[in-house]
Structure formats: C-alpha cells, structure tokens
Chains A and B, each alone.
Chain A
Amino acid sequence: MRKVAIVGVGMIPFGRYESESLVEMLAMPALRAMDDAGIGDRAVDALYVGNMAAGMFNHQSAVASALADYLALLPAAADTIENGPASGGSAIKNGLLAVASGYYDLVLVVGGEKMRDVIGPRATDTVATMTHPTAEYIYGVTLPSLAGMFTRLYMEKYGVTERHLAQVAIKNHNNGLLNPYAHIHASITQEGILDSPHSVVNSPIVSDPLRLYDCCPVSDGAAALLLCPAEMVAEFKKPKVVIAGFGQATDTQTVQEREDPTDLKAVRLAAQQAFAMAKQTPRDVDLAELHDAFTILEIAESEHAGFFKKGEGARALEEGRTRIGGDLPINPSGGLKARGHALGGTGVAQVAELVWHLRGEAGQRQVKGAEVGFSLNFGGFGNNVTAFVLRREA
C-alpha cells in the first residue's frame, strides 16, 4: 500500500446558500482545494462525493457525475458515496484506498449537503429515514431523540450533568467565533442557556434532556480535499500531511439491540483501527475533531476514542483540557455545534480543519505545534463510524 497525502484543502463557510445550486456549492471548495495544491490544469483521476440525501433535499441524484461535468473533470471516474452523516468520512476512505492501492494518483474528495432547501421538520424527517423503518421510524423517532435517550443513560451511569453539556456548547461556540467558516458566530453563556429564567426560551427542550444548544444546526456546507501518493507531494506547493491511519466499524442499526446502549462500540473500533494503522496512540494526538452533533457525543466519543477513560470525559472538559490551549483541544473549528453540520460535508470539513492545523494555517484558532490530528465522523446513531489519524511529516 502506498502512503497517501493531502495536498489540497478547500471549504466554504457553512450556513445557508440560497442562490447557488447543490453542484455549484460543491464546486466552490473543490476549486479551492485544487488551487490550494496548485495543480493547474493537471487531470484528476477520480472524484468521490460524500452526500447523504440530495435525492430528498434537492430532488437530485447522481451528484458526482454532475460535479465531474460542471468542473470539467471528464473523463475522471466519479462516484457519490452515501453513509448517512458519515458520508464525508466514507468518501475520504474511498479516495484513500484508491490512491493507496496504486490505481489512481490524483483524487478529489468533496463532501457537502444542501439541507436548507427544505423546512426544518422536513430535514428532521429526512435524517430520521436512517432509522429502522418499522422498529424506530414509525414512532417519530429523530436523531435528537435517540441522542436524548442515550444522554439520559449516560447521565445516570457516568454522572454527566446538564452543566457539562452546556460547557461543550459554550466551548465550541467560543471556538466557532475564531473560525470564518463557522455557521454560527455567537458567544453563549451558561446563564443564557441554562441558569437564567430566559434559558427555557433561549434554549428550549428539543428532546430531553437535550435542549436547543445541545444540538447542531441544520447547515448547508461543503469541503474538499485533494489526495495524492506521499511520494508525489514535492510536485505541489504544500507541506506534507499524510493520512496515517483510517478505521471504520458498524454496530447494530437500532440502539435497542446493543447489549449496553451506552457503549459506542463502532466508535471504539474505528478509533482503534485508525491508531493501529498509524502506529500511534491517543496520547500522541495534538487536536481532535469529534462528531458533536449533540453535546453528549463530544464527551462520549472523547472516551470511546481512547483520549479519556470511560466516565472521565466530562471532567477533562471541566478542567479545560479540551479547550484551545489545553493538552487536547477538541473541535477547535467549533465542531458540528458551531461550524455546523452539513451531513455529507462534515467528515470532509473535519479533515480539512486538521490539515490546516498541521500546516500551521488555522489562523486565530491554531493549535500551536500540532503534528498529529484525529477526526471521527459518526453515522446513524453510531452504527457506522469512520476515524482518521493525520500526521505532518518532513
């Protein structure tokens, strides 16, 4: 297997895109990634597009073919990759394996979603189609409600409190203020979202115990990466950042069939695989982008990925260890909470963020001296998870 590098990165600010089509929205970060690497008119061999539900959100299918045409990448191979909210992670995986195998040299990976073409309850319903059609979906279960049920058990078992959840939101919104790509640029306080009488208005219950500020926004957004074999990096203008490790694992489709519903087995396995492939440990990681679609997930994933012992993630958060400047900054981008969550765009945006930090290009939110980064993209309610370890190399 060849070692694979990321030589180009591009993103567009997450939020709402009213006048651009889905394909125009995906094209913008793709062109930025190509320019970032400085590939000029050089041919791209293949394109992988991570997208969950353009068929439902935008009434469009075969998105990768449309993007290959729009960007004049023809006759490059092109595939749309769907793995729910982990579609981005899966698209990167496909690009990684294609380059590692020696089959393709230059591969463009784009992830994105245009969710705000539909109203909120429609978006909630579309995302809920990931659940089991007869054992879950029919009841009106949503991803926030699966997360609510998980949170209730996690609080009971590990002593996580609403205060801890609010601290995740506050930290990530503070980080988001430093990120020009973030969907939400707003500073929030514990007073405003939890303690004051106005908190029930500012942050109403979505699916208890989770409130509005425990949940990510519904975003339009996209990001892109350009991959090549590590030995080709010198042909481009950027420092060498390699995908040192990758992992992916599945778990039962329904949460109810898990022996211990608080155990995120797929997170644990995907992270273990990624660290084993990279020949590194969680202690080597300088920053992590975790899938905080719900505040509880940042805490639970930080434990399952091996950064903290089970039940100790909340304490690490309280002690400030996961802030920018702490010993393991988590979600310096603002995470899904503040940068936003554009389904298929998220996994690619997480890795783009890591690349910027490993190159020293992350501006005000830069994690100083970062050499190793980790990302985790959580599909379904933890039933299909991807993880990456990135490393800066000389």
Chain B
Amino acid sequence: MKELVAYRCKKCGLIMYPKHGRCLRCKAREFEPFEAEGDARLITYTDNQTLPWGIDDRQRFLGIVEFANGVKAMGWLKVATPKLGMKLKPHWEPVRVMGGEDVYGLVLRQGK
C-alpha cells in the first residue's frame, strides 16, 4: 500500500489525515508527507446495508483504523466478521466508480 499519504506537522509533530492548511494543534503551515505503515487496528466499524446511489453493492463493512505509525483513516473492510481491535493489512484498491473512472482508496483485509 503506497498511496495513503498523511501529514506530520514540522513544528509540533501532530499527525493529520486528511490534509489541512494549518496544523490542527499549533497552526503551523509546514508538513512532512509520509505514508501510513504497519498493521491497522480496527477502532470502530459498521455493516452498511444501505449504500448510496453510485454504489451497487448490497452491503459493505466500513471502519476506522489506526496504523502502527499513528495515522487514522476510514476504509472498506473486506473481512468476514469484523471485531473491534482486530489487526488488518492495508491495500490500495478501487473503492468506487465516479465519472466512469475507478477511484482508489483504503481496503483492509486479514492476513497478508
């Protein structure tokens, strides 16, 4: 997984994702981009059985994870049974078609 880019404030070190124009903590404007890395721990999730227009799936598990290096992000959980606290591996894959194009995002699976 290469494309989930988070930002570390050069002044106070706060990790942010997605991008902000000023640091949420110290208001500084300089950031160091870096990739989310390591296992992702599941903080919370839902079984969304009412997906919006534009997505044909009947059901998706969506969740929020925290990576070993502190980045927090939402993603699509491709697991049979999600459990709070479970460790997941991140992948960068198509998650939605918009304007005829594949849009890539965070997909999380167990194992490799």
Contact = CB atoms under 8 A, between A and B. Distances in A.
> Are A and B part of the same complex?
yes
Interface of A: 119, 121-122, 124-125, 128, 132, 134-136, 138-142, 144-145, 148-150, 152-153, 156, 204-210, 252, 254-257, 261
A132 B44 contact: no
Contacts of A144: 48, 50
Contact of A252 (B24, B43, B64, B98): B24
Contacts of A122: 52-53
Contact of B60 (A125, A140, A152, A206): A140
Interface of B: 16-18, 24, 43-55, 57, 60, 62-64, 72-76, 84, 95-96, 98, 103, 105-106
Contact of B105 (A138, A255, A257): A138
Contacts, number: 109
Nearest to B84: A156
Nearest to A118: B53
9 contacts: A119-B53, A139-B95, A140-B57, A145-B46, A149-B45, A206-B50, A207-B48, A256-B43, A261-B43
Contact of A207 (B46, B96, B98): B46
B46 A257 contact: no
A149 B46 contact: yes
B97 to A, nearest CB: 10
B41 to A, nearest CB: 13
Given A140-B60, A256-B17, 4 more contacts: A124-B52, A135-B17, A156-B84, A256-B43
A188 to B, nearest CB: 19
A124 B103 CA distance: 20
Contact of B74 (A136, A153, A209): A136
